[in-house]
């Protein structure tokens, strides 16, 4: 199976300071994307028990597996959290993703939309947005982009449009699990082979 590649995801605030960082996120190869995601050039990442670093330096480890979706040009991103009760979608209003090597960055614009496993939808952190709009001096252009992003996101969430598809979230996660098992199996096979072949010199330096 095609390899999943590890990326770092960094979220910043409007003034440029780091908001949050996820240190290990495995990108789903483009070839494995569902057609409804590929046609939007989505960037899809898996994380499971990844280390997260907050702005104040505090570190913690994610408790539930997540599948993150970034859509070029869109002012939001979507994280599907695979909880015991079902898939909860935590959607961030944010600038479009910027890719630099194996690092994804974006600016977080406070507002979040949450769709619970039962289907109820909540818009949260509106007071935080109003506070930060004054603190960080959001321009009118940013304000318009944020409002447009929220409108488009809410329509997508309410209508269950891609990537709000529980079956595909679980499918991507299972592909990553299968890939991890195969990689570990290959490593174990190689270790056994070297242990059984003491004359093997393939690891010698040039």
Whether the full predicted model's pTM is greater than 0.75, yes or no, is: yes
Report the relative pairing of strands 51-54 and 76-83 from DSSP bridges.
unpaired
Question: Is the pLDDT score of 206 beyond 90?
Answer: no
Question: Is the pLDDT score of 193 beyond 70?
Answer: no
Q: What is the torsional sign of CA 45, 96, 158, 112?
A: positive
Average pLDDT rounded to a whole number, residues 75-82:
98
> Could you tell me the pLDDT band of residue 108, with boundaries at 50, 70 and 90?
very high
**How far is 97 from 27, CA to CA, in rounded Å?**
14
118, 149 contact by CB (below 8 A) = no
> Could you tell me the pLDDT band of residue 16, with boundaries at 50, 70 and 90?
very high
Q: pLDDT tens digits for 115-134?
A: 999 999 999 999 999 999 99
The C-alpha torsion from 39 through 41 and 47 to 51, rounded to 10°, is -160
- From 20, 88, 102, 156, the catalytic residue: 20
88 is catalytic: no
């Amino acid at each position: 199976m095609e390899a999943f590649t590890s990326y770092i995801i960094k979220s910043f605030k409007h003034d440029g300071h780091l908001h949050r960082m996820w240190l290990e996120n495995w990108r789903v190869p483009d070839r494995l994307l569902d057609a409804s995601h590929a046609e939007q050039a989505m960037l899809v990442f898996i994380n499971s028990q990844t280390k997260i670093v907050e702005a104040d330096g505090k570190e913690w480890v994610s408790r539930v597996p997540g599948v993150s979706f970034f859509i070029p040009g869109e002012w939001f991103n979507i994280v599907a959290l695979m909880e015991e009760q079902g898939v909860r979608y935590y959607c961030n209003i944010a600038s479009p993703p910027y890719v630099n090597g194996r690092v994804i960055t974006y600016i977080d614009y406070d507002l979040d939309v949450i769709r619970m496993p039962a289907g109820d939808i909540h818009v949260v952190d509106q007071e935080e947005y109003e506070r930060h709009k004054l603190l960080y001096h959001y321009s009118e252009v940013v304000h318009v982009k944020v409002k447009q992003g929220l409108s488009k996101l809410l329509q997508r969430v309410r209508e269950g449009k891609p990537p709000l598809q529980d079956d595909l979230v679980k499918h991507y996660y299972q592909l990553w699990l299968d890939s991890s098992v195969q990689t570990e199996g290959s490593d174990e096979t190689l270790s056994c082979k070297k242990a059984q072949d003491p004359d093997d010199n393939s690891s010698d330096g040039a």
